[in-house]
Amino acid sequence: MRTLVANAIVFYNSAILSRLLPRCQACGSEKALALVTSTSPVAWRHVHLGGRYAFRVGGQAIDLDAVI
């Protein structure tokens, strides 16, 4: 079970970073680009593992582009 949760966190972080990278490249901010390229998708200190999570809001999947 722990491996599944860890893999889900890495996937979620990777998906966010993958969508964020082109936006940072397009805006031309070297500081933002450096931050995104140096961030590891394996990090999860921002995830509260004891929390309650809703992966669908109102029956709809969460829109990662809206999150970014």
Domain ranges of the chain: 2-67
Q: What is the pLDDT of residues 2-37, one digit of tens each?
A: 788 888 889 988 999 999 999 999 988 899 999 989
Residue 61, strand partner residues: 56
- Tell me the C-alpha distance between 43 and 39, whole Å: 8
- Tell me the C-alpha distance between 58 and 61, whole Å: 8
- Specify the pLDDT at position 46: 73
Question: What's the half-sphere exposure (Cβ side, CA atoms, 13 Å) at 28?
Answer: 0
The residue among 64 and 37 whose pLDDT is bigger is 37
Residues near 64 by Cβ (< 8 Å), separated by ≥ 6?
Answer: 15, 16, 19
